[in-house]
Amino acid sequence: MRNHALLVLLFSSITSLSQDCNNSLSGKVTDIHDGQLLTGVTLIVAETDQAVQTNLDGTYSFSNLCNATYYIQVSHPYCLTKGFTVKVSGDTNKSFKLEHHIEELNQITIDGKAYSDKSKTLLENSINQEYLERYSSGSLGDALKSLSGVSSLNTGNTVVKPMINGLHSSRVVIINNGVRMEDQDWGAEHAPNIDINSVSNLTVVKGAGALQYSGDAVGGVIVAESSKVPVKDSLYGKSLMTATTNGRGSALSSKLTKSYQNGWHATLQGSLKRFGDFKAPNYVLSNTGIFERSASLQVGFNRFDYGFEGYYSIYKNEIGILAASHLGGAQDQTRAIESAIPLTIEDFTYKIDKPKQDVSHHLARLKAFKRFNNFGKLSLQYDFQRNNRLEFDIRRGDDKEKPSVDLELDTHTVLLDLESELKDEMTLKSGLMTRYQNNFAAADTGVRRLIPDYQMYDIGVYFVADYQLSDQLLLEAGARYDYSYMDVFKFYKTSFWESRNYDQLLPEIVLEEFENQILTNPQLNFSNGSATLGANYTFGEDYKLFFNYSIASRAPNPSELFSEGLHHSASRIEIGDLRFNSEISHKVSLTLQGDDDNFSYSITPYINTVSDFIIIEPVEVRQTIRGSFQVWEYRQTDAQLLGVDVDASYAFTNNVRLNSQFSLVKGYDQTLDAPLIGMPPVNISNEIVYQNSEFNNIRLSLQSAYHFKQNDFPNNNFEVYVPQTETYQEVDISSTPNAYHLLNFNSNIDINIKQKSTLTVGLKITNLMNTSYRNYLNRLRHYADDLGRNFLFNIKINY
């Protein structure tokens, strides 16, 4: 390529005579991938041999040019050199784009964004690879909650579900390598099926503005991406090992990439995690072990103007659920809540017994793209996912080894996306999505289906455009429309069907009547519109203001529509309503971002108003042979969530830095004028970091995290008759745990072993003071304390 450019240079020396030669040519040079300004780019005018370099703003300027056509060679150390023909007429402005390759090898880091923006008018919070590696033995949710405004809804310490600005489950969309995860995400106790070690960059968009991914992200979008492979001949990889004292287990992960100058590349990655029972400060949390395995293979061919890629990953996770949380009715629940320690504590074991979850997730993706001149980048993607979810309860007799829940969810998606640059200042992203989904609930579980069999067809179209109005101001607007059709086969209990008057209201959907059940065929349609409008304003030297208003519409999920019966893991009867419509959220957020020499910060207040917000709340207590159970029914209401996220970072010296975070969110049910359940309490975290790149890149940090007590919560307590005491006792399922303070320590140091290999050794201690605490957002908080102190030793080798 370089030779080619030089040849062109030699043959294109046409000089024009007798003209006005006082014109200037100026502009900027950006990276074609992400629009990042490139500094230190050399530009040579072939005809005059003038040479300049771009300055820190990525701009350049030539003077004394004539009204003529010039050939300009543009080169940069990390880019392929390119030649451009430019017609100069008067003072001319021309910007160039180079393909800026990311040098991943041996941690040569260069300034520039390796991952593109998901939304230009919503502040994105990202977690890079180095940071993710510190969570290698944990889960995706553990790493995410280190971001301000992101918390997690836990079931124990191994099922960690991310929560953005107080919303979770179906309201948070997770994109894994360009594929929307379809893994029965509606369940509060269903964690995302992604191995954290397969992710190189995690981005959280706290809003629905990223319409290219979905229109129903009422809470926000989480984007997990794997690293980009450089177009050069190379073979590199890394291995990570973590051993922990709490859980007495370890996590292993390895990744190997082979790449060629001609664009071919392949990456193989695998992880293995095995932990036994974890420990609270004072006792073993029996049956909380985890066994996670995952592997992925990526093969692709990448040239600047076209490329394709195949990706396949398998993820399998077996998770034990705290033995003491397995309960019968309300009388049981009362005893478990009243007891200061879990009612089942056994010796440490690696064995994962029932109750447990056993989930596997397959993901296959084929993607191809081509860049067309004056048209844009067109990509076509097909992906397939198969999620198989087994949940095992403690059962009796022949059913002992049978799962109580056995669901298989298959999803096929075809995406067609076009990213076009209409003008230098304007880009347009548009696309089309079609999806087919089939859920199959096995009949041989001996337990009535929690989620019915259904087929779902979706189609979506979107566009998002941004326009750089001036150097300071960028505007963004987008819209999306999704249509979904659900064809459901649902068995209702005859007694339930009649008690709801459905036999009068919906007789047309009955297919067949059995002895005490009715087979129905609800066919549901949802038309959802969503839109975003935003601006990004840069002022002064260091300030940026983001403004975004997004509308998101979410169709009710199968659990909200079809629940009808005992939900064992929640120890309550749950009832949905098949007549629900979509919930619609309006979210306005504003961010002020400042970046001084040694002080940077961002403040993001937001307000999210959701109409027809679907919540579940208790309505009565029902007597069964197993004692009393609380009945929770889904209901639609109007809700409002408001809050603010603050991040700040101050550098005392080159090596010492203080990072602070503050998140606050308040949620209200406007119909009842009552607080929403499960809102994260206010939390503040401060971390002092010492890092010295001259001394083996040593990094030491001490973090203090303070979680306040949640004072705003609905009172869902109920009274239950306890025959043993012959009294009505209040079952306190609402009270929130006390505030707590945790200290975490983290350290790592690099050791060079060979020229191309680095060894990083680290020690991390979580809950340094071994504090006993309970977390409001842990669904098992009623039954046991959270994790005690944990020492994590990790070793990483880059090669």
Partner 1 sequence: MQTIWAETFYLILKSIIDLTIQKNKNMKNLKKMKNLKFLTAALVASSLFIGCSKDDDPQPVNEEEIITTMTVTLEPADGSADVILEFSDLDGDGPNEPEITDGLLAAGATYSGSIVLLNEAEEEAENITEEVEEENLEHQFFYTVGSGLDVTTSGENLDDEGNILGTMFTLTTGTVSSGELTFTLVHEPTKPNDGLESAGGEEDISVTFNVSVE
Ranges within 589-628 binding partner 1 (CB under 8 A): 622-627
| Chosen residue from 77, 340, 396, 470 binding partner 1 by CB under 8 A | 396
Q: In whole angstroms, how close is the CB of 401 to partner 1 at the nearest point? A: 13
Residues β-bridged to residue 386: 362, 410
By CB under 8 A, name the one of 35, 565, 594, 714 that touches partner 1: 565
Using the minimum distance from each CB to partner 1, give the nearer residue, 110 or 443: 443
Q: How far is the CB of 198 from partner 1 (least distance, A)?
A: 19
Per CB under 8 A, 347 contacts partner 1: no
Report the residue from 418, 426, 506, 519 that binds partner 1 according to the rule CB under 8 A.
519
Segment contacting partner 1 by CB under 8 A, of 64-72, 108-116, 490-498, 665-673: 490-498
Strand (E) positions, 564-655? 564-567, 572-575, 583-595, 599-624, 627-651
Any contact of residue 708 with partner 1 (CB under 8 A)?
Answer: no
Q: Which is nearer to partner 1, 411 or 602 (CB)?
A: 411
**Closest among 594, 588, 623, 469 to 536, alpha carbons compared:** 469
Shortest approach of partner 1 to residue 474 CB, angstroms?
Answer: 35
Q: How far is the CB of 626 from partner 1 (least distance, A)?
A: 6
Q: Which of 35, 281, 310, 675 binds partner 1 (CB under 8 A)?
A: 310
CB of 386 to partner 1, least distance (A): 8
Amino acid identity, residue 589? S
Q: Which of residues 352-371 bind partner 1 (CB under 8 A)?
A: 364, 366, 368
Contacts of 597 (CB under 8 A, 6+ apart): none
* Shortest Å, Cβ 389 to partner 1: 16
Task: Name the one range near partner 1 by CB under 8 A: 416-424, 516-524, 673-681, 788-796.
Answer: 516-524
Closest by Cα among 290, 307, 351, 329 to 138: 290
Q: Please, which of residues 131-190 interact with partner 1 by CB under 8 A?
A: none
Please pick, from the candidates 213, 629, 632, 662, the single residue that binds partner 1 as defined by CB under 8 A: 629
- Pick the closest to residue 362 from 415, 412, 320, 416 (CA basis): 412
Burial (CB count within 10 angstroms: exposed 0-12, middle 13-18, buried 19+), residue 512? exposed
**Region from 143-151, 408-416, 654-662, 770-778 binding partner 1, contact rule CB under 8 A:** 408-416
Residue 373 lies near partner 1 (rule: CB under 8 A)? no
- Contact status: 349 vs partner 1 (CB under 8 A): no
- CB within 8 Å of 374: residues ≥ 6 apart: none
Nearest alpha carbon to residue 718 among 707, 732, 708: 732
| Cβ neighbours for 236, distance < 8 A, ≥ 6 positions apart | 104, 105, 106, 256, 257, 756, 798, 799
Nearest to 190 by CA among 488, 453, 451: 451
Is there binding between residue 504 and partner 1 (CB under 8 A)?
no
Task: Centre a 10 Å sphere on the Cβ of residue 452 and count the other Cβ atoms it contains.
Answer: 23
Least separation in angstroms between residue 431's CB and partner 1 is 17
Mark the segment that binds partner 1 (CB under 8 A) among 153-161, 185-193, 494-502, 728-736: 494-502
Q: Tokens 């990390």 identify what position?
A: 78
Is residue 436 within 8 Å of 409, Cβ to Cβ? no
Residue 275 or 497 having the CB closest to partner 1 = 497
Closer to partner 1 by Cβ: residue 237 or 328: 328
Look up residue 474 and give its two tokens. Answer: 């960028």
For the CA atoms of 420, 426, 429, 430, what is the dihedral angle to 10 degrees? -90
- Which CB atom, from 153 or from 336, has the smaller least distance to partner 1? 336
Contacting residue, 113, 248, 316, 395, with partner 1 by CB under 8 A: 395
Among 18, 653, 724, 755, binds partner 1 (CB under 8 A): 724
In the bound complex, what is the minimum distance in angstroms from residue 511's beta carbon to partner 1?
7
Please tell me the distance from the alpha carbon of residue 101 to that of residue 32, in angstroms, as a whole number: 10
CB of 573 to partner 1, least distance (A): 5
Does 331 contact partner 1 by CB under 8 A?
Answer: yes
- Between residues 487 and 732, which has the closer beta carbon with respect to partner 1? 487
In the bound state with partner 1, the residue whose beta carbon lies nearer, of 301 and 706, is 301
**To the nearest whole angstrom, how small is the minimum distance from the Cβ of residue 308 to partner 1?**
6
Choose which of 308, 467, 481, 706 interacts with partner 1 (CB under 8 A): 308
Q: Which of residues 230-259 bind partner 1 (CB under 8 A)?
A: none
Which residue among 62, 96, 291, 491 contacts partner 1 (CB under 8 A)? 491
Residue 433, exposed/middle/buried by CB under 10 A (0-12, 13-18, 19+)?
buried
CB of 410 to partner 1, least distance (A): 8
Asked if 723 is part of the footprint of partner 1 (rule: CB under 8 A), the reply reads yes
Confirm or reject binding of residue 19 to partner 1 (CB under 8 A).
Answer: no
Query: What is the C-alpha separation between 99 and 76, in angstroms, rounded?
Result: 10
Is 754 one of the binding residues for partner 1 (CB under 8 A)?
Answer: no
Q: Does 463 bind partner 1 (CB under 8 A)?
A: no
Out of 49, 514, 541, 754, the residue judged to bind partner 1 by CB under 8 A = 514
Most distant CA pair in the chain, distance: 109
Under the criterion CB under 8 A, does residue 14 sit at the interface with partner 1? no
Q: In the sheet that 179-180 helps form, which strands lie side by side, from edge to edge?
A: 124-127, 201-205, 220-225, 172-176, 179-180
Looking only at residues 763 through 792 of this chain, which bind partner 1 when binding is defined by CB under 8 A?
none
The span from the CA of 210 to the CA of 123, in Å, is 11
**Per rule CB under 8 A, is residue 394 in the interface with partner 1?**
yes
* DSSP per-residue string spanning 732-775: --SPPPPPEEEEEEEEEEEEEEETTEEEEEEEEEESTT------
Contact between 116 and 33 under an 8 Å Cβ cutoff? The reply is yes
Kindly determine how many residues on this chain lie close enough to bind partner 1 according to the rule CB under 8 A: 72
Taking residue 605's Cβ as centre, other Cβ atoms within 10 Å add up to: 15
* Residue 324 touches partner 1, criterion: CB under 8 A: yes
Give the whole-angstrom CA distance, residue 564 versus residue 451.
9
The CA distance from 451 to 389, in Å, is: 11
Closest separation between CB of residue 183 and partner 1, Å?
18
The answer to whether the beta carbons of residues 273 and 291 sit under 8 Å apart is yes
The pattern of x and - marking residues 411 through 450 that bind partner 1 according to CB under 8 A reads -x-x---------------------x-x-xx-x-xxxxx-
